Amino acid sequence: MDKVMRMSSEKGVVIFTKSSCCLCYAVQILFRDLRVQPTIHEIDNDPDCREIEKALLRLGCSTAVPAVFVGGKLVGSTNEVMSLHLSGSLVPLIKPYQSILY
Amino acid sequence: MNSTSTHFVPPRRVGIYEPLHQMGMWGDSFKSNITNGNMNTPSHIIIPNNQKLDNNLSEDTSHGTAGTPHMFDQEASTSRNPDKIQRRLAQNREAARKSRLRKKAYVQQLETSRLKLIQLEQELDRARQQGFYVGNGIDTNPLGFSETMNPGIAAFEMEYGHWVEEQNRQICELRTVLHGHVNDIELRMLVENAMKHYFELFKMKSTAAKADVFFVMSGMWKTSAERFFIWIGGFRPSDLLKVLLPHFDVLTDQQILDVCSLRQSCQQAEDALTQGMEKLQHTLADCVAAGQLGEGSYIPQVNSAMERLEALVSFVNQADHLRHETLQQMYRILTMRQAARGLLALGEYFQRLRALSSSWATRHREPT
């Protein structure tokens, strides 16, 4: 879906969320702790919400939200982000986008 | 009213009234009460207004109801000595009164026991339906099993009991093996089995969470001391590291780096989930408190809160995922022998917590 492709390929870390989703909030907190300012797209306020959800699932995201993209590439949902982080592979991925000072 | 005599007073559980002329009829009424399954007999208490507790001799006899003790004296009273007769009658009255009191006490005992029996039979039925499993700690429900009728939860509790038994067996084996000499293949097998065992638990919990997420969240299946440390339905991943790490004396530089990195990322992930959880609590509270409080209506609020509760299941799953990944990473970082020692240490730590729960629960039971 074009909209999703466009939004997800924005620079830096992009996260698709829903305002009611508390796991999305948890993921945002994690990135904040890692000194990253992700771009948040709250899709439940978007008229194309259902389409976006379907597109995200089709792209391979385990759950539609939160959907995390880094540098235009899909990282995944909460599961994938947590696994990456614990294995130490998340930080190298987001390093270009980390603020030096916090 | 299950008797034909209008003078008949059905015995009550709490013997407020003294059924006076009950001697012969007494057994019958009690039997019929039992067969009717009727503990609280609707008592149409027709108390003839000339019935008093022990004093009315002549009126007792004149009613001619069955089985009065005074029957015995019918013939004696016709003969000579009125004083003797009076004394005899008084003695009989006394004996009858005592007999009635004894019977009353006995009936009360029987009725209490009968209630208890019914209760026990019901519990037994329930337990059989659920696949009876006695709780893990002595401190769990005094009935010995979860009061929930949820079959998913009952199944989980039973499986968890087996899980703990297997866990204890594995810990024993690890201990024996590490104190002796063991070849690498056997060691690897033990370590991998132990890891798989934990992963099994997470799978079980995921299924149980779908049955009753509150049950899993609150750690109801765990012993009390374990429950004290609970974080989203289980142990804290950062605690796991805290328990394990002192046991590794020799770590390579790379291992030290990796462990530090893991500690930090584990803590960050845990904090993120904690905050997400707090947000869920706030949202849920807002949901429940929405609208007018005090009007006595709650259906819309409860319904919207129900929708939110689905999110709780995701949190429990995420927390277990974190535990899974933490264990996985430790396995990756450590040598096989170190991993074995770590798993032994972790297992014993939980055993100690369970022992603490038992000790605590029985601390008042020592004979003084």
Instruction: Give A48 to chain B, closest Cα distance, Å.
Output: 22
Q: Is residue B355 part of a domain?
A: yes
Count of A-B CB contacts under 8 Å: 70
Q: What is the ipTM of this complex?
A: 0.94
B97: nearest Cα among B8, B22, B45, B13: B22
Q: Mapping DSSP to helix (H, G, I), strand (E, B) and coil, where does residue A15 land?
A: strand
Do residues B162 and B184 share a domain? yes
Give the domain range for residue B112: 89-231+335-368
> Does B172 lie in the same domain as B106?
yes
Q: How far is Cα B120 from Cα A8, in angstroms, rounded to an integer?
A: 63
Q: Kindly list the residues from chain A whose CB atom is less than 8 angstroms away from the CB atom of residue B321.
A: 79, 82-83
Smallest CA–CA separation between B268 and chain A, in Å? Answer: 7
| Residues B325, B368 within the same domain | no
| B198 and B257 assigned to the same domain | no
For residue B246, whether the previous peptide bond is cis, meaning omega lies within 30 degrees of 0, is: no
B123 and B215: one domain?
yes
Q: Which residues of A touch B258 (CB under 8 A)?
A: 88
Q: Does B322 touch chain A (CB under 8 A)?
A: yes
Identify whether B321 is part of a domain.
yes
Cα torsion angle, B165, B168, B170, B176, sign:
negative
pTM value is: 0.68
Q: Do A33 and B271 touch (CB under 8 A)?
A: yes
Burial of B98 (0-12, 13-18, 19+ CB in 10 A): exposed
Both tokens of residue B48? 């003839």
Select from B13, B102, B16, B22 the least CA-distant residue to B94: B102
How many domains is chain B built from? 2
**Does residue B133 belong to any structural domain of this protein?**
yes
Q: Across the interface, do A86 and B265 touch by the CB < 8 Å criterion?
A: yes
The answer to whether residue B10 is domain-embedded is no
User: Tokens in use for B180?
Assistant: 């002796």
The string of pLDDT tens digits covering residues B142-166 is: 444 454 578 889 999 999 999 999 9
Of B275, B322, B332, the CB nearest to A82: B322
CATH class held by domain A2-97: alpha beta
- Give the pair of three-digit tokens for residue B104: 């009353």
Position of tokens 């829903």? A18
CB contact under 8 A, B272 and A26: yes
Q: Which two tokens stand for residue B15?
A: 């013997």
| B59 falls within a domain | no
- Regarding whether B360 and B227 lie in a shared domain, the answer is yes
Query: pLDDT per residue over B71-86, tens digit each?
Result: 455 555 456 678 889 9
How far apart are the C-alpha atoms of A81 and B268, rounded to whole Å? Answer: 12
Q: Which of residues 41-70 of A touch B (CB under 8 A)?
A: none
List, for residues B97-137, the tens digit of each pLDDT value: 999 999 999 998 888 888 888 888 877 777 766 655 444 44
Q: Would an 8 Å CB–CB cutoff place B232 in contact with chain A?
A: no
The confidence score (pLDDT) of residue B59 equals 43
Alpha-carbon gap: B333 to the closest alpha carbon of chain A (Å): 10
